[in-house]
Amino acid sequence: MKRLRLAIISTHPIQYYAPLFSELERSRWIQPRVFFTWSQSVSGAVHDPGFGREVRWDVPLLEGYEYEFVPNIAPRPGTERFFGVRNPGLIHAIKRWNADAVLVFGWNLASHLQAMRYFKGRLPVFFRGDSTLLDAKGVCRSAARRVLLRWVYRHIDVALAVGSNNQDYFRWCGVPEQRIVVAPHAIDTGRFSDPHGRHQARAASWRAELGIGPDARAVLFAGKFLRKKDPLLLLQAYLECGAPGHLIFVGNGPLEESMRACAGARTNIHFLPFQNQQAMPAVYRLAEVFALTSRGPGETWGLAINEAMASGRAVMVSSKAGGARDLVVPGQNGWLFQSGNRQQLAAALQSALMRDPRELRRMGEAAQRHGARWSIEAAAESIARAVIEFSLQKRHSHLLQ
């Protein structure tokens, strides 16, 4: 059987998707080609408003798979607005490549929705997104949203859900159960492993520079200093819990000034600037526990949880993080707390910072084992299997007609 040609529509090269595309390329059954719709990102550098700077990732994003950048003619190009991505040549490019199926990442851009509508009924249409119902507000607003989303998802054949909360969302949107396939939200877990201890050695040296002793316990926040991520809540809860140990913030963002003011001159609260991808395996090893305190809206998963777990770290996660339900097993690999609840978070911090270091290591090891199931290999295998099975079903039904 020849490999089925899978046209993948995505906005721009993303550090979390590149390994997935490469893994699909290695499949015996699928031949992927990625059509990037934000052609202005071809240089590899994009402005990230959360970090407040231009970001150029230092890991390969265009290796190991076929791709092309389709010209985007939007007067104001970008992924923050529906008409920021307009590609008149997209459908023609996919047809010219003679695709057997189409996989669309995200519908809320003009060209992506247009492609879904055009190819539905012509080719099998697969969809991948990570939305949840965690931020749903108000009966009327939810009802209107549901009507719109039911219409949108009538233009797909199979929804590739990233996890349990995302499954619930697709069901709510009217996607039939048999048309929902779990393809886990994943990272390149191997990149965060440390078989030779190199990342741990770098982290130990880094801790020494920060004045954190080898036996001290620490909690890490790494990400954008945004209200959505709520790092200020973590800082306030840490000050409230009164436990010994250190708190480390890695990143930048609009809340940085107020966070530094709140921390004052305390020597057990540390701030490090934005770190690129190659440094992250060492960054997660700066502390025994990683905290993701997001309040949303829009924390649809939180792939930093996956990265921390792959690095052998226990995790402390807010209820508003979409991945918490699947990734965190309270008492075994981490802590869950109700979003915005400073008292619960302070109690979790006290529990972590007063815990025996050996027990924290065991929790980190449990996190690593659990997180291994959420791998790029598992995601690619699920996607490939779904494409093959549905395509064969569709061909068989056509033969019977």
Could you tell me if 57 and 145 lie in one domain? Answer: yes
pLDDT surpasses 50 at 146:
yes
Could you tell me if 229 and 347 lie in one domain? Answer: yes
User: In this structure, what CATH number is given to the domain that contains residue 56?
Assistant: 3.40.50.2000
- Mind listing the pLDDT tens digit for each residue in 187-236? 999 999 999 999 999 999 999 999 999 999 999 999 999 999 999 999 99
- Mind listing the pLDDT tens digit for each residue in 354-394? 999 999 999 999 999 999 999 999 999 999 999 999 987 76
Cis preceding linkage at 297, omega within 30: yes
Could you tell me if 383 and 342 lie in one domain? Answer: no
Q: How confident is the model at residue 358, as a pLDDT?
A: 94
Q: How confident is the model at residue 143, as a pLDDT?
A: 85
At residue 66, the 3 state secondary structure works out as strand
Q: Backbone dihedral region of 174: left (phi > 0), alpha (psi from -120 to 50 degrees) or beta? A: left
Could you tell me if 109 and 53 lie in one domain? Answer: yes
pLDDT surpasses 60 at 401:
no
Q: How confident is the model at residue 1, as a pLDDT?
A: 65
Could you tell me if 54 and 117 lie in one domain? Answer: yes
Count of structural domains within the chain: 2
Q: How far apart are CA 336 and CA 345, in angstroms?
A: 8
Q: How confident is the model at residue 217, as a pLDDT?
A: 96
- Mind listing the pLDDT tens digit for each residue in 83-131? 999 999 999 999 999 999 999 999 999 999 999 999 999 999 999 999 9
Could you tell me if 241 and 346 lie in one domain? Answer: yes
Q: How confident is the model at residue 2, as a pLDDT?
A: 84
Kindly report the average pLDDT of the chain as a whole number.
93
Question: Looking at 143-147, 177-181, 310-314, 325-329, which range is the least confident one?
Answer: 143-147
Secondary structure element (H or E) that encloses residue 352, with its range: helix 342-353
Could you tell me if 181 and 194 lie in one domain? Answer: no
- Mind listing the pLDDT tens digit for each residue in 264-284? 999 999 999 999 999 999 999
Could you tell me if 195 and 133 lie in one domain? Answer: no
Domain that holds residue 256: 190-371
- Mind listing the pLDDT tens digit for each residue in 24-73? 999 999 999 999 999 988 877 666 666 666 677 778 899 999 999 999 99
pLDDT band per the 50, 70, 90 thresholds, residue 399:
very low
Q: How confident is the model at residue 400, as a pLDDT?
A: 44
Strands of 334-337's sheet in order across: 269-272, 246-250, 218-222, 289-292, 314-318, 334-337
Could you tell me if 272 and 255 lie in one domain? Answer: yes
In this prediction, residues 150-167 reach a mean pLDDT of 98
Q: Which residues contact 85 (CB under 8 A, 6 or more apart)?
A: 11, 37, 38, 72, 74, 77, 78, 79, 109, 110, 111, 112
Q: How confident is the model at residue 144, as a pLDDT?
A: 87
pLDDT surpasses 70 at 242:
yes
In this prediction, residues 4-31 reach a mean pLDDT of 96
pTM of the model: 0.93
Contact 253, 294 (CB under 8 A): no
What does the DSSP assignment read for 138-174? -HHHHHHHHHHHHHHGGG-SEEEE-SHHHHHHHHHTT
Could you tell me if 113 and 146 lie in one domain? Answer: yes
Q: How confident is the model at residue 17, as a pLDDT?
A: 96
pLDDT band per the 50, 70, 90 thresholds, residue 397:
low
Q: How confident is the model at residue 45, as a pLDDT?
A: 66
Could you tell me if 233 and 301 lie in one domain? Answer: yes
pLDDT surpasses 80 at 136:
no
Could you tell me if 165 and 40 lie in one domain? Answer: yes
Q: How confident is the model at residue 50, as a pLDDT?
A: 62
Q: How confident is the model at residue 48, as a pLDDT?
A: 65
By C-alpha distance, which of 314, 87, 99 is closest to 217?
A: 314
